[in-house]
Chain A
Amino acid sequence: MAVTSLIGARIQRREDPKLITGHGNFIDDVNLVNMAHMSIVRSPHAHARIRSIDTSAARAAQGVVAVLAAGDFKPHIHAPLPVTNAFVADKKQVPDQFAIAEDEVIYAGEPVAVVVAEDRYLADDAAQLVVVDYEPLPAVMDLEKAMAPDSPLVKSDRSDNIGWDAAFPAGDIDAAFAEAEVVVKQRIGQQRLFPTPMETRGCVADYVPYDNRVTLWTSTQVPHFVRLFVGGALGVPESQFRVISHDVGGGFGSKIRPYLEEYLTTATSKIVERPVKWIEDRTESLLATTHGRGQIFDVEVAARRDGTLLGLKFTQLLDIGAYHGVFSAFQVVACLIGGGAYEWKAINARSIGIFTNRTSTDPYRGAGRPEATHMVERMVDLVALEIGMDPAELRRKNFVKSFPHTNNFGLVYDSGDYPKTLDRAMANIDYTALRKRQADLRAQGRYLGIGFSTYVEICGLGPSAATAPAAGVALVESSMVRVHPTGSVTVSVGTHAHGQSHETTFAQIVADTLGVPYDSVEIHHGDTGDTPFGYGTYGSRSLAVGGMAIMASCHKVVEKATKLAAHAFEASEEDIVVDQGRYFVRGNPGEAKSIAELAFASYGAGLPAGMEQGLEAVSYFDPPNFVWPFGCHICAVEVDPETGGVSIDRYVAVDDCGNVINPMVVDGQLHGGIAQGISQALFEEVLYDEETGQMLTGTMVDYLIPTMAEMPHFELDRTVTPSPTNELGVKGIGEAGTIASSIAVINAITDALTPFGIKHVEMPARPDRLWSMIKEARA
């Protein structure tokens, strides 16, 4: 690559001026003339038959435009919600989910009716007047009981409660265990979480009567998916269906799918012949927006007493919820990367997806990789404890050391230097001194613990060769780069930003690659009306896949500009030198043309024979491999044995995401990611009543989102091992912090509690849990 000035620079975000002055354009800020407001009547039961719905009182209420139930939507919504394939499952059950329940509700929060009124207050008032006669049915809540042949069913028309049962054997697992001198077993939970973006979901649909034309504003990470599926179900072709997703107040995976409310709002707009707005309130969001995690891992590790890891066996029990999330099966990826950063002789994994009468789970920041990391990093510590080896040394001994590395399942880790991040992190936290301090404090009856997480992550989703057979979608990415006649540049992309800073970082890439001023580059995303089809933003893919699609278009533009320069200088293309946006004949840099001049010429007359006007390009990028960020996080905590309270003393992270476009943005992504993992380790847990299936954590009063006071300072550092997978040498960083951090905290807590004989702690490690464990250990 040419010498660059912007790639790698800490540039303040161009997203910010509007956001810090109150001029963002979030979903609830969209208002149309004659717009009506929709409120959704949701099931209060986890499982019930609907005997009847009486809407007469609601219809008669003040300001009500319409009250609609399943029968009203059937003529307009012609398809169920989409579901991707459940990997290569031995058993697969993919029940259809219609946008609104008709005769049986199977989770608390499932829609049964919608009320449309002149304003939101009146719509909510009238929704209270819809009378639904329910016959409650048993709620299926426990994963293991749900698997039993005699279990009640989550929905009466299903054969059983199993969504998938997939085996992933790799190598001779029996031989690996036969060789073992030590076998360590552990059950490890992954509690259900709310992704909790600060902006809830919402949409505004404007169906133009007699024209079959729709504009749908929606808070989503995937505008093109929404258009494809909602348009398809409503019989509106893409050319007449525009999805706009302007500013989106966070997603974290929970806005990765087309949602039933997008179908309902659009169909409602069609029925009432007015624009319709629906905004999710927070309690509704906690019930109706997909949850994350909700898994149990039963794990066994075989090792030698010298610390050599041999074999890994585990079963992932995954709580699907009532219906498959659109991408819930992606979390099975935990099986394929469960070996982490280590060499294993054999791995035998199995994933069982189980339906329950809860809200569906779907990806939440990391989606399968935090679970895999948490599991393997926990097990490595248990082995270290069992054989009396320092956990850092056991990790170092078993690290994958040469790259590219083909793991047990055939996935190819593209590049890495795991000991380097481990060494750097240990130096940054001064590990030797910290162990000494731990010993000193223990002598005083204080319990300091040190926890490691040496993670590796699969991201940059993804190469179609891998994703299409496994998940049924190609996951390539797109761009369109258009140089206007006077040299400013519009870049339209299929990815979507909702906090990731693409408008800044993508412009850095384009400015450098085309050699144009940064301020002349405008990034468009989140509007299907002016962007090429793209798969959206999740899986830390936007830079490694979407950024490369932008590079591809830039290269095409440069190629054409070179032809234009050759024509202008009456030289051959081979003699044209391109240097930071200046085009000249080799040896004559004084007489150069800027890309703006060439762009102007490109729209005029006198072009080379056969060349069309214009200077623009469209590209799709299909990556040759995933990318594999890695790093080492070390957490030091102190546990108060009298209260069970945990305080984080230090949090040191050394991450490697390859080349960095904007270090400020990378650090910010890490801060937020680490915070979410710490929060899972210590605070967050979605709770349901196990008998009735009622959600017990239905507000932010009950569900602990940490405040600033609960978060430590993050001591960040990085190494740079460029990815060989793409020309930019980049990996991903959006999820790395979350993938790494929960287990750094939990390993630190268990290390602190080792004197009590405590070997394992489940999440969330709240004070009451730790206090009880310490009390029991002391008894």
Chain B
Amino acid sequence: MTQPVALTINGRRRDDQVEPRLLLVHYLREVAGLTGTHIACDTSQCGACTVLIDGEAVKSCSVFAVQANGRKVTTIEGLAENGTLHPVQQAFWEEHGLQCGFCTPGFIMAAAYLLQQNPSPTDEEIERGLEGNLCRCTGYENIRRAVHSAARAMSGATDAASAQLVGSAAAPVED
């Protein structure tokens, strides 16, 4: 017995028939073919399956696909835009915030969400914000660094964006 679902994944709408018991993470990986979202624990401890649903970080192993019906989902494949890495992706690369890379998509999604909520977190705030994600390779040192580094990059970018907004305020505002 399947049910219809319609989701917007990384900006593209999909319509599928799924079993009610199908987990969102399995839907993303096996139906939508987006294998960047990983599964590592089965008990919602590790955060490897973290995606954004309507902009909020969610462990996709703890949601059924049917519960995401009508929502917007962003996965790791949808974070970079027009060939430009998201600042969190860039920072993980620059700061060696990954080794085997298996937990990395979940960490990047959770960190992107954290920085969206808190643009300049302290160590403690990063630790609290990412406590739902486990990494076995890095000892977390460079992940912490990467999040700080991304925060700096994004605040720079935000400043630039604000400057642009200020600049454009003089122009006629349409709509």
Point out the residues of chain B lying under 8 angstroms from A675, CB to CB: 138-140
Point out the residues of chain A lying under 8 angstroms from B135, CB to CB: 198, 708
Point out the residues of chain B lying under 8 angstroms from A197, CB to CB: 100, 102, 136
Report the stretch among A248-256, A409-417, A582-590, A720-728 that lies at the interface: A248-256
* In the complex, chain B residues 23-54 whose Cβ is within 8 Å of any chain A Cβ: 26, 29-30, 34-43, 45-46, 48
Report yes or no: A252 in contact with B136, Cβ–Cβ below 8 A.
Answer: yes
Report yes or no: A23 in contact with B103, Cβ–Cβ below 8 A.
Answer: no
Report yes or no: B43 in contact with A22, Cβ–Cβ below 8 A.
Answer: no
Known contacts A20-B92, A199-B100, A499-B99: A282-B140 contact under CB 8 Å = no
Check: A200 CB closer than 8 A to any chain B CB.
yes
Point out the residues of chain B lying under 8 angstroms from A281, CB to CB: 42
Report yes or no: A20 in contact with B93, Cβ–Cβ below 8 A.
Answer: yes
In the bound complex, CA of A711 to CA of B130 (Å):
13
In the bound complex, CA of A26 to CA of B21 (Å):
25
Report yes or no: B93 in contact with A672, Cβ–Cβ below 8 A.
Answer: no
Return the chain A residue nearest B75 by Cβ: A22
Point out the residues of chain B lying under 8 angstroms from A249, CB to CB: 38, 40, 100-103
Report yes or no: A13 in contact with B96, Cβ–Cβ below 8 A.
Answer: yes
Instruction: Tell me which of B102, B130, B138 contacts A672 (CB under 8 A).
Output: B138
Please give the number of chain B residues whose Cβ is less than 8 angstroms from any Cβ of chain A in the complex: 57
Report yes or no: A672 in contact with B136, Cβ–Cβ below 8 A.
Answer: yes
* In the complex, chain B residues 69-122 whose Cβ is within 8 Å of any chain A Cβ: 75-77, 79-80, 85, 89, 92-94, 96, 98-105, 108
Report yes or no: B40 in contact with A19, Cβ–Cβ below 8 A.
Answer: no
Check: A610 CB closer than 8 A to any chain B CB.
no
Check: B131 CB closer than 8 A to any chain A CB.
yes
Check: B134 CB closer than 8 A to any chain A CB.
yes
Within the complex, the shortest CB–CB distance from A600 to chain B, in Å, comes to 33
Check: A570 CB closer than 8 A to any chain B CB.
no
Check: A121 CB closer than 8 A to any chain B CB.
yes
Report yes or no: A700 in contact with B93, Cβ–Cβ below 8 A.
Answer: no
Within the complex, the shortest CB–CB distance from B136 to chain A, in Å, comes to 5
Check: A34 CB closer than 8 A to any chain B CB.
no
Report yes or no: B102 in contact with A21, Cβ–Cβ below 8 A.
Answer: no
Point out the residues of chain A lying under 8 angstroms from B102, CB to CB: 24, 26, 197-199, 247, 249-250
Among A12, A672, A673, A674, residue most surrounded by chain B Cβ atoms (within 10 Å): A672
Point out the residues of chain A lying under 8 angstroms from B14, CB to CB: none
Check: B142 CB closer than 8 A to any chain A CB.
yes
Q: Is chain B's interface secondary structure helix, strand, loop, or mixed overall?
A: loop
Known contacts A20-B89, A500-B99: A198-B48 contact under CB 8 Å = yes
Return the chain B residue nearest A23 by Cβ: B36
Known contacts A19-B101, A198-B135, A247-B101: A708-B127 contact under CB 8 Å = yes
In the bound complex, CA of A701 to CA of B41 (Å):
9
In the bound complex, CA of A120 to CA of B149 (Å):
40
Report yes or no: B100 in contact with A198, Cβ–Cβ below 8 A.
Answer: yes
Check: B13 CB closer than 8 A to any chain A CB.
no
Among A198, A248, A711, residue most surrounded by chain B Cβ atoms (within 10 Å): A198
Return the chain A residue nearest B139 by Cβ: A675
Q: Is chain A's interface secondary structure helix, strand, loop, or mixed overall?
A: loop
Instruction: Tell me which of A499, A713, A714 contacts B101 (CB under 8 A).
Output: A499
Within the complex, the shortest CB–CB distance from B94 to chain A, in Å, comes to 6
Within the complex, the shortest CB–CB distance from B87 to chain A, in Å, comes to 11
Check: A541 CB closer than 8 A to any chain B CB.
no
Check: B143 CB closer than 8 A to any chain A CB.
yes
Report yes or no: A714 in contact with B141, Cβ–Cβ below 8 A.
Answer: yes
Return the chain A residue nearest B126 by Cβ: A708
Report yes or no: B89 in contact with A21, Cβ–Cβ below 8 A.
Answer: yes
Check: A432 CB closer than 8 A to any chain B CB.
no
Point out the residues of chain B lying under 8 angstroms from A498, CB to CB: 100
Within the complex, the shortest CB–CB distance from B93 to chain A, in Å, comes to 5
Report yes or no: A700 in contact with B41, Cβ–Cβ below 8 A.
Answer: yes
Check: A717 CB closer than 8 A to any chain B CB.
no
In the bound complex, CA of A15 to CA of B39 (Å):
20
Instruction: Tell me which of B96, B139, B140 contacts A665 (CB under 8 A).
Output: B96
Check: B160 CB closer than 8 A to any chain A CB.
no
Instruction: Tell me which of A500, A668, A701, A709 contacts B43 (CB under 8 A).
Output: A701
Check: B161 CB closer than 8 A to any chain A CB.
no
In the bound complex, CA of A199 to CA of B127 (Å):
22
Among A29, A31, A120, A707, residue most surrounded by chain B Cβ atoms (within 10 Å): A707
Return the chain A residue nearest B77 by Cβ: A22
Check: A79 CB closer than 8 A to any chain B CB.
no
In the bound complex, CA of A377 to CA of B128 (Å):
34
Point out the residues of chain B lying under 8 angstroms from A121, CB to CB: 19, 21-22
Report yes or no: A250 in contact with B136, Cβ–Cβ below 8 A.
Answer: yes
Known contacts A707-B127, A708-B130: A22-B142 contact under CB 8 Å = no
Report yes or no: A711 in contact with B139, Cβ–Cβ below 8 A.
Answer: yes
4 further A-B pairs in the complex, CB-CB below 8 A; given A24-B36, A198-B100, A705-B136: A15-B101, A19-B98, A282-B42, A499-B101
Name the 7 nearest CB pairs between A and B, nearest first: A22-B36, A249-B102, A675-B139, A19-B101, A499-B100, A22-B76, A499-B99
24 of the cross-chain contacts (CB-CB < 8 Å) are A12-B96, A16-B98, A19-B101, A21-B85, A22-B37, A24-B36, A198-B48, A198-B102, A198-B103, A198-B135, A199-B40, A200-B40, A247-B100, A249-B101, A281-B42, A499-B99, A499-B137, A500-B99, A675-B140, A676-B136, A708-B126, A708-B143, A709-B127, A711-B141
